[in-house]
């Protein structure tokens, strides 16, 4: 092999390594940028939804918990309305919302 062909081969190898390094660094930079954008988006999402927890926390803190045996209060029966088998009336008469 001549010196000239060795120099050409070395130049090709250096060019390929340079190209590979550029691709790797650009990919790493883009991945970091996407991760930063995702973190910013998640922070905004969390910030928007954290304010909705305050009224819920206050409601839990001021809630009257029914622990006494007996029939439930009217407020509790109203809360049950989200379930199809909830009672229709406050005195638990009249069947349930699902017809049973």
Number of structural domains in the chain: 2
Q: Closest Cα partner for 73 from 87, 58, 84?
A: 87
Has residue 91 been placed in a domain?
Answer: yes
Domain extent for 87: 64-100
Has residue 59 been placed in a domain?
Answer: no
Cβ–Cβ under 8 Å, residues 73 and 66: yes
Rounded-to-integer distance, Cα 1 and Cα 7, Å: 10
pLDDT tens sequence across 22-62: 988 888 888 777 777 777 777 777 777 777 778 878 877 88
Which residue is it, tokens 């109203």? 78
pLDDT tens sequence across 5-16: 888 888 888 999
Same-domain check for residues 72 and 99: yes
Rounded-to-integer distance, Cα 76 and Cα 3, Å: 92
Cβ–Cβ under 8 Å, residues 87 and 77: yes
Tokens standing for residue 19: 């190209």
Same-domain check for residues 47 and 68: no
Same-domain check for residues 42 and 71: no
Predicted TM-score (pTM) of the model is 0.34
3-state secondary structure of 96: strand
């Amino acid at each position: 092999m001549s010196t000239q062909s060795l120099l050409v081969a070395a130049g090709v190898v250096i060019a390929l390594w340079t190209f590979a390094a550029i691709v790797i660094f650009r990919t790493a930079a883009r991945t970091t940028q996407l991760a930063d954008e995702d973190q910013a988006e998640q922070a905004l999402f969390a910030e928007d939804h954290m304010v909705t927890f305050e009224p819920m926390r206050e409601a839990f803190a001021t809630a009257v918990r029914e622990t006494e045996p007996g029939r439930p209060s009217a407020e509790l029966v109203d809360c049950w309305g989200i379930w199809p088998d909830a009672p229709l009336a406050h005195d638990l008469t009249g069947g349930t919302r699902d017809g049973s």
